[in-house]
Structure 1
Amino acid sequence: MSFKNLSTQAIALIIPDFDFGGEEKRVLFFVNNYVNHFKEVFLFAPNGKSAASLDKRVKHIIVETRKYKNIFRIIKSLKDNNITFLQGHKRATLPYLVAAEKLLGIKSCFNFDNIYLNNGVSNLLMPKTIIYLSDILKAHYLPFFPNHDNKVINMGGDFLTPIEGDDIENVKIELGIKNKFTILSLGRLSSQKNQKMLVEALTIIADIDFKVLFVGEGPLENALKNMCLEMNLLDKVQFLGHRKDVNVLLSISDALVQSSIFEGFPNVFIEATSLGIPIIATNVGSSKTLVQDNGILIESGDTSGLANAIKKMAQNLERYKLNAILMKESDFFKQFHKSVMLNGYLSHYASSAL
């Protein structure tokens, strides 16, 4: 499909946070690519850490979108700038999407990225068009929104370039993980990601020569560090903070572990799979889309199940690595590249503009 008809249209994206989360990373990718197709691209978001990476052509309207007193300011800006499309990310944006649709006739769409524990406002407010990141998400929410325009555009992510040979050895020596079963936990240190369960699971498998690399920042960082101190795990873990060299960290790891209470479609699953890294994850959200023979799924909150999964993978690592490489090289996996996701969104808008 041609996207030429978008060159006369203006689009806006809205998100309540703009630091380093997976959803923020996706919004950054969208706006920085939309500028090549739309007449104008606007972003309504706080001035978070990702703002420094915005293309200069993106018109960043700095606003606290979690404060709904700003709804009139945003609606006025949408009207004044003749916005045709409004793309919302995270549930806090739903009031803006519905207001823009009802009051201005703007073609709003909500990007459904998660199976939430409490649907709350999302069951009451929803624009006509809903875009789900996987068939699993659509199947879960379709009964709630049977009369909406429900679409699936698969989550897309980065296919990373690995480091190899001496580079891997040098990084392992630097981090003190050579000849150790290395687990990577990558994500915001928060209650949703539930790294606490991973720490508890580590006490069950203390007989394994492992190392866990916690990568990310968040409100539970100090609490997790204190847990590791109290459980005598300081020699088994490292907290590396926020890192941009994800390809390096995945390349030196034996397994990615995700212990979330709820999830959508973690971008890191695509990144890990693109490097042939096995995954251990809770069976929430769209996890089972990419975690098949290349990994192990456990139930959310099952600490002993997580401990057993880590032990099983450590004992059968070569088999899981082989299956991870087969997944990486499969035609099935190619559909999860971020360029495919971008084309899916552009096709949606191009057809809506006709």
Structure 2
Amino acid sequence: MKVLFTASGEKVGGATLAMLHLMLGLPSQGIQPILLTPNTSAINPNLTKKLMQKGVKIVEGRHRLKGLLHWLWLLITTLKLSRKLGVKIIHTHGPKEATVLGIAAKILGLKHVYTVEGDPIIETYINRSGPVATLVNKILFKTGLRLADEVVGCSRWMATHITKTYGIKATPIWNPIDHEKFSNTTTSHPDEQTILTAARLDKVKDIETLLHAVEDIEPMNRPKLLIAGDGPLKETLTEMVKTKKLQDKVIFLGHRTDVEELMAKAHIFILPSLYEPFGMAAAEAMAAGRPVIASNVGGLREIVDHGVNGLLFTPKNHRELAQHITKLLQDKKLWTTLSQNAREKSAIFKPENIAKRYLEVYMRCLG
């Protein structure tokens, strides 16, 4: 069975990364993944190499078309490539891809599986993107859902949200992670005074609450915070750090492709999101044996079991977050227990395990 995927952005975000990880596991189920991308430069070279070693066929357009020209190229190339290679299923993961490739699937008479990695309407609202962006996202999202033969939510929360909000049945399947990469971290005793977050710097990820929490911690116990990621709020957050006089404790690392190495050095991983359909970074941190402190929202509640492999806090409650950070920094026995349990649970997110669930969806889709 041949399944076509796409990676069409200039940067590989979490949604695309989840599909690349899925492709690592699908060959174990006898499925041939085909990746169509304008160019592979946005994908980590090590991941590209691993995909090829697993038998993933990568078709590279070698162009940098943008806007309407890109989507027209994607549509035409998908039509040609699917006929040529005998594709049975087109698997999409974003509203634009689901709409454009959903149309291609209808033209070709192929099945279309759409993995929903988030509700863009919620994201545009939180990020205050404006009415035009909200309307466009709403149209694309609903169109993509209607064009899909099978809809998958990246968590139980996401699947339930799709069904309740849009009246479309969705199957819950967690996102896979590159478990091998993160579980091979070599530092068993990380810096006990370093905490890490890795996220896009926007309203949704709520790094502001994390900065408030660091400020709340007594100066003599205050850890060093590493922030990996870039985004529209970088300048605002940088000014916030200066205002709070935390320059010696907060380090902005920018976009990083070596997050696994950062996790190996950090003592705790923190994800303070206001909204998180899944929370791949949290699952990756658990594979690295790092206890996770996360906001009690969306899919994070399915990854982090409070008091077992991590800790949950009320969204935007920086005092509660500060208490959790202090507790884990000071209680070595608790840290060790959470770390061991985190590693154990992370195995369920291995690509091979998630691929088994998708095989069921594909077979049901084909009848």
TM-score by length of 1: 0.80
Q: Determine the C-alpha separation between the residues in 1 that align with 2:249 and 2:199.
A: 19
Shift of 1:33: 6.1
Matched, 1:157 2:169: no
Alignment of 1:188-267 (within 5 A): 188-207=200-219, 208-267=221-280
Shift of 1:241: 3.1
| Alignment check: 8 A CA contact 1:16 1:65 kept | no
Aligned to 2:193: 181
Aligned to 1:296: 311
Out of 110, 116, 128, the position equivalent to 1:112 is 116
The one-letter code of the counterpart of 1:336 is: F
Which whole-Å deviations, capped at 9, do the CAs of 1:259-289 have from their partners, x for residues lacking one?
1222122222222212332111112220011
What is the count of residue pairs matched by the alignment? 332
| Alignment check: 8 A CA contact 1:259 1:282 kept | yes
Larger helix percent = 2
Q: 1:335 aligns to what SS in structure 2?
A: helix
Shift of 1:35: 7.5
Aligned to 1:85: 89
| Alignment check: 8 A CA contact 1:197 1:303 kept | yes
Out of 141, 155, 162, the position equivalent to 1:134 is 155
Shift of 1:184: 0.7
The one-letter code of the counterpart of 2:303 is: L
| Alignment check: 8 A CA contact 2:150 2:361 kept | no
Shift of 1:140: 2.1
Q: What percent of counterpart residues are identical?
A: 21
* 1:334–1:31 CA distance, 2 compared to 1 (3 A): closer
TM-score by length of 2: 0.77
Aligned to 2:107: 103
* 1:16–1:284 CA distance, 2 compared to 1 (3 A): farther
| Alignment check: 8 A CA contact 1:16 1:92 kept | no
| Alignment check: 8 A CA contact 1:158 1:270 kept | no
The one-letter code of the counterpart of 2:212 is: E
Out of 26, 42, 50, the position equivalent to 2:43 is 50
Aligned to 2:133: none
| Alignment check: 8 A CA contact 1:192 1:262 kept | yes
Q: Determine the C-alpha separation between the residues in 2 that align with 1:265 and 1:181.
A: 27
| Alignment check: 8 A CA contact 2:99 2:143 kept | no
Which whole-Å deviations, capped at 9, do the CAs of 1:80-128 have from their partners, x for residues lacking one?
2214321112223232143224333221111112255257232454123
Q: 1:50 aligns to what SS in structure 2?
A: coil
* 1:306–1:39 CA distance, 2 compared to 1 (3 A): closer
Shift of 1:156: 1.6
Q: 1:329 aligns to what SS in structure 2?
A: helix
Q: 2:361 aligns to what SS in structure 1?
A: helix
* Bigger Cα displacement from structure 2, 59-68 vs 219-228: 59-68
* Bigger Cα displacement from structure 2, 275-284 vs 37-46: 37-46
Aligned to 2:324: 309
| Alignment check: 8 A CA contact 2:286 2:342 kept | yes
Q: Determine the C-alpha separation between the residues in 1 that align with 2:278 and 2:292.
A: 13
Question: What are structure 1's unaligned runs of at least 5 residues?
Answer: 1-5, 173-179
Q: CA RMSD in A?
A: 3.1
Question: What are structure 2's unaligned runs of at least 5 residues?
Answer: 126-136
The one-letter code of the counterpart of 1:162 is: T
Out of 18, 21, 31, the position equivalent to 1:29 is 21
Which whole-Å deviations, capped at 9, do the CAs of 1:8-47 have from their partners, x for residues lacking one?
x4x3223452524322322333456668956672424566
Out of 356, 361, 367, the position equivalent to 1:343 is 356
